[in-house]
Amino acid sequence: MSLLFSPFTFGPITIPNRVVVAPMCQYSANDGCASDWHLAHLMQLGTSGAGLVVVEATAVERRGRISHGDLGLYSDDNEAALGRVLGAARRVAGPTTRFGIQIGHAGRKASTQAPWDGGGPLKGHEDPWPVVAPSALPFDDHYPVPATLDAAGLEHIVAAFAETARRAARIGFDVVEVHAAHGYLLHQFLSPLSNHRDDAFGGTADNRRRFPLQVLQAVRTALPATVALGIRISATDWVDGGLTVADSAAFVAAAREAGADYVCVSSGGLVPHVRIPTAPGYQVPFAAEIRATTGMATRAVGLIAAADQAEAILTAGHADMIALARAFLDDPRWAWHAADRLGATLERAPQYQRAAAALWPGAKLSRPQDFV
């Protein structure tokens, strides 16, 4: 009996299996509006068999976009465009598939190029915009110096998160995930490396957590009780003087109090030039520690690509759900093949049933060694 393919409940939501498509920016939106690329991408992932598909980092305000191509949910046009895409993805997805959306603000890492254009800060002729952050500390030497957010600026962003959450609920998302990882605005508040404030939002760990927790509370209040609230964190900054896993566990405990139903444990992204010892499942120990200390429903992520590996993480009690990003870009049928491998049953669309391994001997020839 596979744990990966057993249902899991967090907050008001039950997902049919613990396979989650991680949020992945597509840099293909137009002033925040989802495009035909999103339609194809999310309809495909909707039929993947994953229990939960989380839509990419979606900006709560225009200047909070990482790049010109970021998805946003700050206007009626954005809401209509994403509503069209979500509606179509739902119509082709299995009836128990759940859809989430990650909402965030890039802070000092806003106004950058798409990765395939270099990924650096936008140049003068590329229509850059002014960026904001907890403190006037740029991400790197050649990045713009952010304006320090004042009290009115903070209130404005809390309200933008709440408004985006309301829009997400209105178009029918089951889950809203607040992005507090990868060096974006909320992470910038949490880490002493990027937050040098001397007011109630900086200094002590409690003060640095205050703004992200206010955002979480506002989002929880804005959402109907039927929508689950998650949070994604970077458990460590991977540098001396930065956030540690113990700091992150304390934040997750407070986030739980503020109404979060799960945490996805990632790492890094706050400062450049950091050496991260990546290896299969390298972030799983952080998830395990946070799950053990806080009791929060926990999602592991990061270089998890094999079915057996995912199953073993759950069996060991290191996490409750597994998110995969690149594995799903490479193979949108990852979940079907993993289910075959683990001897689990996974409903697939009737149109595609004849490709099931049990019905088609060619499956053994066409799949990676791990799955046969």
Ligand X SMILES: Cc1cc2nc3c(=O)[nH]c(=O)nc-3n(C[C@H](O)[C@H](O)[C@H](O)COP(=O)(O)O)c2cc1C
Asked if 83 and 130 touch (Cβ cutoff 8 Å), the reply is no
User: From the CB of 324, what's the least distance to ligand X, in Å?
Assistant: 4
Alpha helices, DSSP H, located in 171-306: 185-190, 205-222, 245-257, 284-294
Decide whether 73 or 327 has the Cβ nearer to ligand X. 327
* Torsion sign across C-alpha atoms 197, 202, 204, 208: negative
Identify which range of 105-113, 236-244, 323-331, 349-357 contacts ligand X by CB under 6 A: 323-331
**Angle at alpha carbon of residue 233, lines to 116 and 130, rounded to 5°:** 50
Interface mask toward ligand X for 67-106; x: CB under 6 A = -----------------------------------x----
Q: Give the residue carrying structure tokens 């094999």.
A: 306
Alpha helices, DSSP H, located in 306-367: 307-315, 326-330, 334-342, 362-366
* Torsion sign across C-alpha atoms 61, 66, 68, 71: negative
Rounded distance, CA 186 to CA 109, Å?
11
Identify which range of 2-10, 214-222, 318-326, 358-366 contacts ligand X by CB under 6 A: 318-326
Identify which range of 119-127, 151-159, 201-209, 301-309 contacts ligand X by CB under 6 A: 301-309
326 binds ligand X (CB under 6 A): yes
Rounded distance, CA 168 to CA 73, Å?
8
DSSP for residue 145: P
23 binds ligand X (CB under 6 A): yes
Decide whether 57 or 185 has the Cβ nearer to ligand X. 57
325 binds ligand X (CB under 6 A): yes
Decide whether 51 or 357 has the Cβ nearer to ligand X. 51
User: From the CB of 31, what's the least distance to ligand X, in Å?
Assistant: 18
Q: Which of 184, 262, 282, 352 is catalytic?
A: 184
Identify which range of 7-15, 20-28, 196-204, 233-241 contacts ligand X by CB under 6 A: 20-28
DSSP for residue 68: T
Neighbouring residues of 197: CB distance < 8 A, sequence distance ≥ 6: 134, 135, 148, 203, 207
User: From the CB of 75, what's the least distance to ligand X, in Å?
Assistant: 19
- Residues between 180 and 239 with contacts to ligand X, criterion CB under 6 A: 181-182, 232
User: From the CB of 41, what's the least distance to ligand X, in Å?
Assistant: 11
327 binds ligand X (CB under 6 A): yes
Decide whether 90 or 299 has the Cβ nearer to ligand X. 299
Instruction: Pick one of 18, 56, 109, 233: the residue that binds ligand X (CB under 6 A).
Output: 56
DSSP for residue 177: E
Identify which range of 16-24, 201-209, 289-297, 360-368 contacts ligand X by CB under 6 A: 16-24
Length of the chain, in residues:
372
Decide whether 182 or 208 has the Cβ nearer to ligand X. 182
Tell me the number of residues near ligand X by CB under 6 A.
Answer: 20
364 binds ligand X (CB under 6 A): no
Instruction: Pick one of 14, 24, 203, 293: the residue that binds ligand X (CB under 6 A).
Output: 24
Rounded distance, CA 51 to CA 3, Å?
13
Tell me if residue 74 is catalytic.
no
Asked if 71 and 83 touch (Cβ cutoff 8 Å), the reply is no
Query: Exposed, middle or buried by CB within 10 Å (0-12, 13-18, 19+), for 55?
Result: buried
Catalytic positions, please? 184
By CB under 6 A, name the binding residues for ligand X: 22-25, 56-57, 102, 179, 181-182, 232, 266, 301-304, 324-327
